[in-house]
Amino acid sequence: MNNKLQVTPAQMFNAPVLFFVICKVQIGVGVYGFQSLVYENAKQDSWISIILSFVVCHLIVFVMFKTLEMYDSNDFYGINLDLFGKYLGNLLNLSLMLYYGILFFAVIQNFSEVMVTWVFPDIDPSFIIITILLLVIYTFTGGLRVIIGLCFIGFFLPQWMLAILLYPLEFANINYLFPILDNDFISLLKGAYAISFTVVGFEVITALYPFVKEKRKAKIYVHLGLLYTMIVYLFVMLVTLLFFSGEQLQRVIWATLSLFSIVRLPFFERIEIFTVCFWIIVILPNLCVFAWSAYRGFNRVIQISEKKFILIFTALIFVGTLLVKTQFQMKVINELVGHISFYTVFAFPLVLYFIALFKKKILKR
């Protein structure tokens, strides 16, 4: 196939690392408040919507790998050029680059909003954003292997937070989960659709695939990563449902942080403030992976160094954050990103697969 990437051994990494990458890119700022979005549609059956959303994720990953396996060592950027030609292919690649840029923007903007609301109400959000962007620039210029290493470290460091969420179960009310399956299937699907922005991120495998050494093993670790993140979101959702009544949950914006706020440890009283500050370790790998995925597409069009790209990229992101002034604007952006994510991650790979399969059969004939 055309547009095959030439990857040196020094740039490649082992397939098991994909498990940590998938876990990191899927667990981000969305875990703060996804519960109310799901509950609005699926009510006490929201945990079923979580399972449905990840079943779809597994199916999409299966389709993605089927498409990638038709090509020896290529990413979706190269596949677009091969299937659609130079002009339409580059237009689709530009759309993918913008998508990763939008994800980057949404993550950093949401995190700064949480930081200002919960920790530093008197500080300028721009200061927080600049600080994070400097960390991204420093990490990004280290190359892909440094970013992958950060994903590995960032997976283990926040695990203690899951144990902290066991404390609210002291006040759990099992009746909040009943009646089970009281909502129709359409409502469950709407609940699964509502967290499109929360569960996306695994699509970065379409950019990382050429850099994986054992490509036959890659899909196993990606599916394992999806399974782990499903368990995390399912656990958080169940704890939330057991603690909050329906009316309370509909009024809470960041349900997970509210759960942290009731925890009182002998040596640490306001643990929710610490978790918000600590969360930068969680979102930093996400931001770096999204920026790197955008860079792979940009590098297809214009040969540019990683340092120049990340400086231009972060400058544009910073300018974009200055345009967002209110929480209502951020809510509209999150809804828009959710719609864009759904069509980019769950619809486009299906279309691409069938077109690639059709072309393959035509070439065989």
CATH at residue 43: 1.20.1740.10
Q: Compute φ and ψ for 13, nearest 5 degrees.
A: -140, 165
Q: Is residue 132 part of a domain?
A: yes
Residues 2 and 81: beta-carbon distance below 8 Å: yes
98 CB-contact burial (10 Å; exposed 0-12 / middle 13-18 / buried 19+): middle
Render each residue's pLDDT in the chain as its tens digit; 365 residues.
445 667 777 788 999 999 999 999 999 888 988 999 999 999 999 999 999 999 999 999 999 999 999 987 789 999 999 999 889 999 999 999 999 999 999 999 999 999 999 998 989 999 999 999 999 999 999 999 999 999 999 999 999 999 999 989 989 999 999 999 989 999 999 999 999 989 999 999 999 999 999 899 999 999 999 999 999 999 999 999 999 998 899 899 899 999 998 888 777 778 888 889 899 999 999 999 999 999 998 988 888 889 999 999 999 999 999 998 888 888 899 899 999 999 999 999 999 999 999 988 887 77
Domain that holds residue 220: 9-359
Residues, the chain: 365
Q: What is the dihedral of CA 331, 337, 339, 340, to 10 degrees?
A: 160
Sequence-distant (6+) residues with CB within 8 A of 267 are none
- For the chain, the domain total comes to 1
Given the structure tokens 């345009």, which residue do they identify?
323
Q: Is residue 3 part of a domain?
A: no
Provide the token pair at 117. Answer: 């609301």
User: What is the CB-side half-sphere exposure of residue 115 using CA atoms within 13 A?
Assistant: 20
Q: Is residue 365 part of a domain?
A: no
CA dist., res. 292 & res. 305, Å (int): 12
Q: Compute φ and ψ for 323, nearest 5 degrees.
A: -80, -15
SS (H, E, C) the chain: CCCCCCCCHHHCECCCHHHHHHHHHHCCHHHHCHHHHHHHHHHHHHHHHHHHHHHHHHHHHHHHHHHHHCCCCCCHHHHHHHHHHHHHHHHHHHHHHHHHHHHHHHHHHHHHHHHHHHCCCCCCHHHHHHHHHHHHHHHHCCCHHHHHHHHHHHHHHHHHHHHHCCHHHHHCCHHHHCCCCCCCHHHHHHHHHHCHHHHCCHHHHHHHHHHECCHHHHHHHHHHHHHHHHHHHHHHHHHHHHHCCHHHHHHCCCHHHHHHHCCCECCECCHHHHHHHHCHHHHHHHHHHHHHHHHHHHHHHCCCCHHHHHHHHHHHHHHHHHCCCCHHHHHHHHHHHHHHHHHHHHHHHHHHHHHHHHHHHHHHC
Given the structure tokens 């656990």, which residue do they identify?
235
CA dist., res. 190 & res. 93, Å (int): 29
Q: Is residue 265 part of a domain?
A: yes
pTM assigned to the model: 0.94
CA dist., res. 235 & res. 252, Å (int): 18
Given the structure tokens 């990490």, which residue do they identify?
139
CB atoms within 10 A of CB 332: 12
| Longest Cα–Cα distance in the chain | 72
Q: Is residue 29 part of a domain?
A: yes
Q: Is residue 4 part of a domain?
A: no
Q: Is residue 1 part of a domain?
A: no
